[in-house]
């Protein structure tokens, strides 16, 4: 009963209203959900199991998409240089891309929120130090920071260890390049809450003010963080794709959409365009959908525009 009530209230809310009203946003949400579903379940629902070497047949290599004269129906979007079905590689690749993206955002948010809370609550030297670091990091683009961390990891770790952990290094490096926005927002809200009277009142009663503040800070923080996270997800996916395209992203054993594009690029000029264009299109559509959702969310949650 309570659930039905909550659902009804949610559906009646201003947020959902603005969602319903915008067909573009609905389309974006549907697309994103589709991607999530397809990539999440990819290992089970992909038409071909493309990374099981046994199943690959080199004679299937370089087949164009199914609707062209020389294409075959079982390989809807064609095959790559090793005979892998492009559609399946895209699904599995999207899985890696999204997984890295989500993980990076979670890491950045966790780091940023924590630092923001500490910075806002403790204040003083700690705050100044953290904000200095944040300022400096903000002036360095994400790509550079991620490249740097990856470069250092690459030279510090022995090769096979590096391959094994490179995906975590990737997640951490993308996360480290984007935590600042979360920290700043949370810090600002924390500072506002800290100056409110209930914090002093809590001290008087004997409760730890930090706990009380958390209860008040977190709800206020949720909205902006959600907006930053959504737009950050798009950025994270793009950054990962870029790094993988450059060859310093995900390991070759777990190719993402960026890796696919890089591989396909080698064959673009000899005419096998589908190996690049389809993964590229998938990447763009995914990022576009996330960006649209982020845009809508930001406008919908912006108190000034209400």
Q: Report the interface residues with another protein, using CB under 8 A.
A: 17, 131, 135-136, 138-141, 143-144, 147-148, 150-152, 154-156, 184, 188, 234, 238, 241-242, 245-248, 258, 261, 265, 268-269, 273, 276, 280, 283-284, 287-288, 291-292, 295
Q: Using an 8 Å Cβ cutoff, are 230 and 294 in contact?
A: yes
Choose between 46 and 96: whose C-beta lies nearer to another protein: 96
Smallest separation (angstroms) from another protein to the CB of 57? 28
Choose between 58 and 152: whose C-beta lies nearer to another protein: 152
Smallest separation (angstroms) from another protein to the CB of 257? 10
| DSSP string computed for 206-234 | T--HHHHHHHHHHHHHHHHHHHHHHHHHH
CA-closest candidate to residue 60, choices 90, 92, 87, 85: 85
φ, ψ of residue 232 in degrees (nearest 5): -65, -30
Q: Using an 8 Å Cβ cutoff, are 130 and 118 in contact?
A: yes
Choose between 225 and 260: whose C-beta lies nearer to another protein: 260
Smallest separation (angstroms) from another protein to the CB of 153? 10
CA-closest candidate to residue 252, choices 96, 143, 103: 96
Choose between 213 and 283: whose C-beta lies nearer to another protein: 283
Measured CA distances, 278 to 48, 49, 85, 232, 264 (Å): 17, 18, 12, 24, 10
Smallest separation (angstroms) from another protein to the CB of 195? 15
Choose between 126 and 246: whose C-beta lies nearer to another protein: 246
Q: Which residues pair with 85 in a beta bridge?
A: 79
Smallest separation (angstroms) from another protein to the CB of 240? 10
């Amino acid at each position: 009963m309570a659930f039905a009530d909550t659902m009804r209230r949610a559906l009646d809310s201003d947020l959902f209203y603005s969602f319903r009203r915008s067909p573009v946003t609905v389309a974006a949400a549907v697309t994103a959900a589709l991607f999530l579903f397809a990539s999440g379940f990819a290992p089970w629902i992909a038409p071909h199991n493309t990374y099981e070497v046994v199943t690959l047949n080199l004679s299937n290599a370089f087949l164009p998409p199914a609707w062209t004269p020389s294409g075959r129906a079982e390989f809807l979007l064609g095959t790559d240089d090793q005979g892998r079905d492009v559609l399946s590689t895209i699904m599995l690749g999207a899985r890696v891309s999204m997984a890295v993206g989500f993980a990076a955002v979670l890491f950045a948010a966790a780091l940023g929120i924590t630092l923001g809370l500490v910075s806002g609550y403790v204040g003083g030297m700690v705050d100044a130090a953290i904000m200095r670091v944040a300022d400096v990091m903000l002036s360095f683009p994400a790509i550079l920071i991620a490249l740097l961390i990856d470069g250092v990891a690459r030279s510090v770790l022995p090769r096979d260890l590096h391959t094994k952990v490179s995906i975590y290094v990737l997640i951490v490096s993308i996360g480290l390049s984007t935590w600042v926005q979360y920290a700043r927002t949370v810090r600002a809200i924390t500072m506002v809450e800290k100056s409110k009277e209930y914090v002093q009142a809590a001290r008087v009663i004997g409760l730890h003010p930090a706990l009380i503040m958390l209860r008040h800070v977190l709800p206020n923080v949720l909205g902006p963080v959600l907006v930053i996270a959504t737009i950050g997800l798009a950025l994270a996916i793009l950054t990962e794709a870029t790094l993988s395209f450059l060859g310093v992203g995900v390991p070759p054993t777990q190719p993402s959409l960026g890796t696919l594009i890089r591989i396909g690029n080698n064959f673009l000029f000899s005419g096998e365009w589908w190996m690049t264009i389809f993964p590229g299109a998938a990447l763009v559509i995914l990022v576009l959908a996330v960006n649209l959702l982020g845009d809508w969310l930001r406008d919908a949650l912006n108190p000034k525009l209400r």
